[in-house]
Amino acid sequence: MESKSMQLSLMSKEGIPSLRAFKVKGYLKWKLGEQEVDVLIDSGATHNFISQGLVNQLKIPYQTIKGYKVQIGNGDRIANNGRCEGLALCLQKALIQQHFYILDLGEQIVLGMEWLASLGDVEVNFQKQTIRWKEHGQEQLVQGDPQLNSLEVSLTTMTQILQDAGDGYLVFCEGISVVPVEGEAEDDTWKQLLDEFPEVVQPRKQLPPRRSCDHAIHIQEGACIPNIRPYRYPQYQKTEIERIIKEMLNEGIIQHSNSPYSSPILLAKKKDGGWRFCGDYRALNKITIPDKYPIPIIEELLDELGGATIFSKLDLKSGYHQIRMKEEDRQKTAFRTHEGHYEYLVMPFGLTNAPSTFQALMNQVLRPFLRKFALVFF
């Protein structure tokens, strides 16, 4: 691992864990005693590093070296301040001995690939924050401490991060008081609403009504019609595709098609373990004339919420499927599976102009209330 070019992520330099790094408590041992330290284990660091502040505090001897540069994640290259030879570090039940390059760090110690590579056959699980390896036939385990990942960042440090990285997020955390609500009164309110508007929660039995903003697909002049064969699917996905197709036919969302257009479909795994049926309309989108209807900017919507104290969120069930396709454009949504050719009667997910159409409908429906007590974003 000896190299005159070393690398360290900007997050690790400032002592902030990332998806490929985690923290653990350790004890640094040297001739004058031992000191508890915070250790950041980072697979994105090529070498091991120790902070200049810790070296000064403990008066750890070090060797001055020249010509070694450390490349930070933003592209800057900085000179290290020397190297501490053969420091002993106790990580839970594991005792390691490594060289450490001295840098101005936000963390006390960073263990990188120089150490990980020395372990041989090692198992690293960043999700569980564990490292396992064998040493002299005995299994060694280091378990990260998620509580160490939360830290206060000083204004000076944050300013430096923003100067180096050029981007960042400011988050305010405040305590929220939950006021208990009488269960019976709440249940009565919901019951009254359900009795007053039963059509809102009943399963759909017919297509949505015709509207001025039914979805259209305008194709570029002279473009070749996309006709792509279906992808190959494993047996278990074929069974799921057949089930979803049958369900959509029964609901009137799709119909059988003789269209010259054809796009493949995909199944995407959902968080609940089910499958999401997705049309792969990339070829169709390439030849579609873009709709320039304005989509809201989230920052401007957040500005509108200034001073608001009570919030409600409405989420439509399959909102795109509540918009019809224009009859002459249904054929363009056609897709093939291993057992049939179909087209949508409602607006499918995956079309390039679908967000603009949905935004236009929501603005039309909520126009009397926009910016008074309602905002639209999806």
CA distance 244 to 150: 44
Cα separation, 164 vs 169, in Å, equals 14
Region of 318 (left: φ > 0; alpha: ψ -120 to 50; beta: rest) is left
pLDDT digits (tens, 9 = 90+) for 329-357: 999 999 999 989 999 999 998 899 999 99
Average pLDDT along the chain: 83
Give the integer Cα–Cα distance in Å for 329 and 219: 10
**pLDDT tens digits, one per residue of 258-292:** 999 999 998 887 777 788 888 899 999 999 999 98
38, 48 contact by CB (below 8 A): no
The pLDDT-based confidence of 187 (bands split at 50, 70, 90) is low
Tell me the pLDDT band of 196, cut-offs 50, 70 and 90.
Answer: confident
- pLDDT of 164 strictly over 60: no
Pick from 98-102, 106-110, 153-157: least confident: 153-157
pTM of the predicted protein model: 0.49
Closest residue by Cα to residue 40 from 166, 194, 145, 169 = 145
Do residues 16 and 151 touch, judged by C-beta distance below 8 A? yes
> Are 14 and 105 members of one domain?
yes
- pLDDT score recorded for residue 137: 83
- Could you tell me if 11 and 141 lie in one domain? yes
* Six token digits for residue 128: 């569980």
Q: What is the CA 263 to chain-centroid distance, rounded? A: 27
User: Has residue 194 been placed in a domain?
Assistant: no
Chain-centroid distance, C-alpha 137: 39
**Are 147 and 37 part of one and the same domain?**
yes
CATH number at residue 255: 3.10.10.10
Per-residue pLDDT for 155 more than 70?
Answer: no
Question: Does 215 lie in the same domain as 153?
Answer: no
Q: Looking at the structure, tell me whether residues 144 and 225 fall in a common domain.
A: no
Which range, 15-29, 279-293, 311-325, has the best average confidence (pLDDT)? 279-293
Categorize the per-residue pLDDT at 173 as very low, low, confident or very high, splitting at 50, 70 and 90.
Answer: low
| Distance between start and end Cα atoms, the chain | 49
Amino acid at 181: V
For the chain, the domain total comes to 2
Q: Give yes or no: residues 74 and 139 share one domain.
A: yes
Q: How far apart are CA 139 and CA 120, in angstroms?
A: 12
Same domain, 220 and 359: yes
Q: Which of 40-44, 64-68, 227-231 has the lowest mean pLDDT?
A: 64-68
Q: Most confidently modeled of 49-63, 299-313, 332-346?
A: 332-346
Domain holding 290, by residue range, is 200-369
| % pLDDT > 90, the chain | 30
pLDDT in tens, 118-133: 888 888 888 889 999 9
Is 264 part of any domain? yes
CATH number of the domain residue 160 falls in:
2.40.70.10
Query: Where is the domain boundary, 144, 165, 186?
Result: 165
Shared domain check, 352 and 213: yes
CB-based contact 26:36 (threshold 8 Å): yes
- Give the pLDDT band (50/70/90) at residue 1: very low
